[in-house]
Chain A
Amino acid sequence: NAGVTQTPKFRVLKTGQSMTLLCAQDMNHEYMYWYRQDPGMGLRLIHYSVGEGTTAKGEVPDGYNVSRLKKQNFLLGLESAAPSQTSVYFCASSYNIQGSYNSPLHFGNGTRLTVT
């Protein structure tokens, strides 16, 4: 099992450019999440999905869009990148709703995005 795979690993964008981050999981998990990690800010939830075809806003959703067309994939889109979106982005998945007893989060290894 590969677990949670994120592509790309690194990306540099210019302000105003767009891009899509791909997350794939092979554990048949219903729940998938996108986080950003910034120094001094910890991990913040951007968007999440409770199943194929569903998405919901997290703590910091502005400037991002997501799609979950297939159960195993969760895409994060930046339509018009801004320097404030420079961050490390992590995708995670879980069997059950996060915070449940039997459902730890499984994380990918992140995408380091720089917006100049």
Chain B
Amino acid sequence: SQQGEEDPQALSIQEGENATMNCSYKTSINNLQWYRQNSGRGLVHLILIRSNEREKHSGRLRVTLDTSKKSSSLLITASRAADTASYFCATPGIMGSSNTGKLIFGQGTTLQVKP
């Protein structure tokens, strides 16, 4: 069963604009991760935010987490053509208070940045 769902499914913007992608999940989590996948390549880990954090930055990336709404957002500022990729959120399955060891991925948001 899916844990994370990204929104929108697809996003097209001009270079220099900001891109915001959202992720909603269903159960309690202790962290949430974002990955990027370029066409024809494997996923690459971007950033991890813990459940006790509300916001985290890494370069042009800003991730927020609202555990009360069970949602997270990934903001890419000043986008570049090289940011064109699919972006996935992933959350660990939790049983009780334990990590099940299964990372559950959402369907992803496909971002196109036009030069």
Q: Does B87 contact A (CB under 8 A)?
A: no
Q: Knowing A43-B105, A98-B101, A99-B99 are in contact, say whether A109-B31 is a contact too (CB < 8 A).
A: no
Q: What total of chain A residues lie within 8 Å of the partner, measured CB to CB?
A: 23
Q: Within the assembled complex, what's the spacing in Å between the Cα atoms of A101 and B92?
A: 10
Residues of B near A74 (CB, < 8 A) are: none
Interface flags for B92-105 (1: CB within 8 Å of A; 0: not) read: 11000001111101
**A99/B102 in contact, CB under 8 A:** yes
**A101/B48 in contact, CB under 8 A:** yes
Residues of B near A90 (CB, < 8 A) are: 42-43
Q: Knowing A42-B108, A43-B105, A58-B102 are in contact, say whether A99-B43 is a contact too (CB < 8 A).
A: no
- Out of A97, A105, A110, name the residue touching B45 (CB < 8 Å): A105
Minimal Cβ-Cβ distance residue in A for B4: A42
Q: Within the assembled complex, what's the spacing in Å between the Cα atoms of A40 and B60?
A: 29
Minimal Cβ-Cβ distance residue in B for A106: B45
Q: Knowing A42-B2, A104-B33 are in contact, say whether A98-B41 is a contact too (CB < 8 A).
A: no
Q: Does B20 contact A (CB under 8 A)?
A: no
Q: Does B64 contact A (CB under 8 A)?
A: no
**B106/A110 in contact, CB under 8 A:** no
Minimal Cβ-Cβ distance residue in B for A59: B102
Interface contacts (Cβ under 8 Å), in number, total 60
Q: Knowing A99-B93, A104-B45, A107-B43 are in contact, say whether A43-B99 is a contact too (CB < 8 A).
A: no
Interface flags for A88-111 (1: CB within 8 Å of B; 0: not) read: 001010000111110011111110
**A42/B103 in contact, CB under 8 A:** no
- Out of B30, B41, B93, B105, name the residue touching A110 (CB < 8 Å): B41
* A-B pairs with beta carbons under 8 Å apart, 15 shown: A40-B107, A43-B88, A50-B101, A59-B102, A98-B92, A99-B91, A99-B101, A100-B92, A101-B30, A101-B48, A105-B43, A106-B45, A107-B42, A109-B40, A110-B41
Interface residues of B (CB under 8 A from A): 2, 30-31, 33, 35, 40-45, 48, 50, 88, 91-93, 99-103, 105-108
